[in-house]
Amino acid sequence: MATVRLSFSPAPVHVRTARLVGVAVARRAGVREDLLDEVRLAIGEACTRAVALHRQYHVPDPVLVEMSDAGSYSVRVVDRAPIEASIGLTALDADQLANESLDEDDLTTGVGFALLAGFVEDLQVRPVDEGVGTEVRMVWPVGR
Amino acid sequence: MELSLATRAVGEHTVLEVGGEVDVYTAPRLRERLLELIDGGARHVVVDLGRVDFLDSTGLGVLVGALKRLRSAGGSFALVCDKEPLLKIFRITALDQVFPLYPTVDAAIGADPTGAGV
């Protein structure tokens, strides 16, 4: 079993780094090549959500990304924002998306969740075990 | 890959060619460029995603913002995309029902319901 941990200051510029590391570890773990685009997108969405929450609530703590290949490839993205874990986790339908009154931030949040739910079969969003924050846990099968 | 943006005029249409990665870091530049175009008088905008390697929810939010802004100004907005991974993103988010999507720039301009095609 291998574990890779990455923590980064909650700034948009670092989300790309998290995506690159996440895909590199996924490839090394044996995730099928045709799933890697989805891994990249899902890790990016989870990190984008975490960064947005840290900035919204002025939380300077780093965002944690932990990747593990124990039997499958699992990725945990942990934020420290003081909110209910379920907030913002609603996919929007086409009418809502096109609604003039929906602002861009809310639209991005809804679309981000739709992408997470659509691309990750094994997805859990739950409060962290200790302290405040949310853990987004994503699991993909490995081909070995 | 960094974001690249290039604009060209085709008749009454403004075609914005986007390349590279559109994410939470680069999407603000795409938003700025689209606002510049619209504020500068562009009313029929086609965004060509043919060279985009990565597109996330932030980028999609910017595109929806431009669509709404142009529609409220009586203009038109279309996307050009023929890559299956990107098309899947539009399907999963239901945004394929919001955006006019075309496989080529010519198809997007030719199909413009406002009659601004060339």
Region A54-76: mean pLDDT is 95
Region A121-139: mean pLDDT is 93
What confidence category does residue A87 fall into, taking pLDDT thresholds of 50, 70 and 90? Answer: low
pLDDT of residue A95: 79
Domains and their CATH numbers in chain B? 4-105 (3.30.750.24)
Mean pLDDT of chain A: 90
Task: Tell me, yes or no, if A119 comes closer than 8 A to chain B by beta carbon.
Answer: yes
pLDDT of residue B21: 97
A contacts of B57 (beta carbons < 8 Å): 45, 48, 108-109, 111-112, 115
Using alpha carbons, list the distances in angstroms from residue A79 to A62, A65, A87, B95, B111: 8, 9, 13, 28, 45
Low-confidence stretches of chain B (pLDDT beneath 50): none
Distance from CA of A23 to the nearest CA of B (A): 13
Is residue A144 predicted with pLDDT exceeding 70?
A: no
Identify whether the C-beta of residue B62 lies closer than 8 Å to the C-beta of residue B30. yes
Phi and psi at residue A30, to the nearest 5°: 105, 15
CATH number for the domain including A90?
3.30.565.10
Per cent of chain A over pLDDT 90 is 70
What confidence category does residue A109 fall into, taking pLDDT thresholds of 50, 70 and 90? Answer: confident
Domain count, chain A: 1
A26 lies in which domain range? 3-140
Per cent of chain A over pLDDT 70 is 94
Percentage helix, strand, coil for chain A under 3-state DSSP, each rounded to 5: 45, 20, 35
Amino acid at A1: M
pLDDT of residue A2: 87
pLDDT of residue A105: 82
Task: Tell me, yes or no, if A39 comes closer than 8 A to chain B by beta carbon.
Answer: no
pLDDT of residue B24: 95
pLDDT of residue B90: 96
Is residue A130 predicted with pLDDT exceeding 80?
A: yes
pLDDT of residue B106: 95
Preferred mutation among B86, B93, B97, B101 to probe A, highest tally of A CBs within 10 A: B93
